[in-house]
A and B are shown apart, each in its own frame.
Chain A
Amino acid sequence: MTLSEHEIDEILYFAIFANTGAYLLRKLRQNASVQRLARELSVGSIESLANRIFSSKLDTNLDLAFAYSILGAISFHGIKERTLILKVCRPEKINLGAQIVAEMQAYYPNVHVAKGRLASTVLVQRSANIPVSISLANSLPSVKRIETSNTSPPSSVSLSKF
Chain B
Amino acid sequence: MILQIGQGTTIPLATSQGNSIDNVQHPCTPDLADQHWDSVFAKRHLSAKPRAKMSGRYNCHGMVFASRRTRIFSANEVQKIITEDSYIDVTLENVLEGDFILYQEEGDIIHSGIVIEPPSATNMYNPLVISKWGSGREYIHRGNDCPYPFMVRYIRI
Contacts and interface: CB of A to CB of B under 8 A. Distances in A.
A87 B5 CA distance: 7
Contacts of B10: 119
B124 interface: no
Nearest to B136: A16
Interface in B1-48: 1-10, 24, 26-28, 30-32, 37, 40
Interface string A109-137: 00100000011111111000000100001
A123 B110 contact: no
User: What's the interface size class on A, roughly?
Assistant: 35 or more
B40 A13 contact: yes
A146 interface: yes
B97 interface: no
Contacts of B30: 12, 15-16, 64, 93-95
A85 B111 CA distance: 32
Contacts of A88: 4-6
Interface stretch (B54-62, B86-94, B115-123): B54-62
A79 interface: yes
Contact of B4 (A82, A83, A120): A120
A16 B133 contact: yes
Contacts of A123: 1-4
B105 interface: yes
B90 to A, nearest CB: 21
Nearest to B77: A20
A16 B135 contact: yes
Nearest to A133: B2
Contact of B40 (A9, A122, A124): A9
A39 to B, nearest CB: 20
Interface in B81-114: 105-106, 108-112
B144 interface: no
B133 to A, nearest CB: 4
Interface in A54-87: 54, 61, 64, 71, 74, 79, 82-87
Contacts of A120: 4, 6-7
Given A13-B40, A97-B5, A101-B3, A19 B110 contact: yes
B150 interface: no
A92 B3 contact: no
A26 interface: yes
A98 B8 contact: yes
A64 B1 contact: no
Contacts of A17: 133-136, 147-148
Contacts of B1: 74, 79, 82-84, 108, 111, 123-125
A19 B6 contact: no
A26 B141 CA distance: 24
- Give 5 nearest A-B pairs by CB, closest first: A98-B6, A97-B5, A95-B26, A17-B134, A97-B6
Interface of B: 1-10, 24, 26-28, 30-32, 37, 40, 54, 56, 59-61, 73-75, 105-106, 108-112, 133-136, 147-148
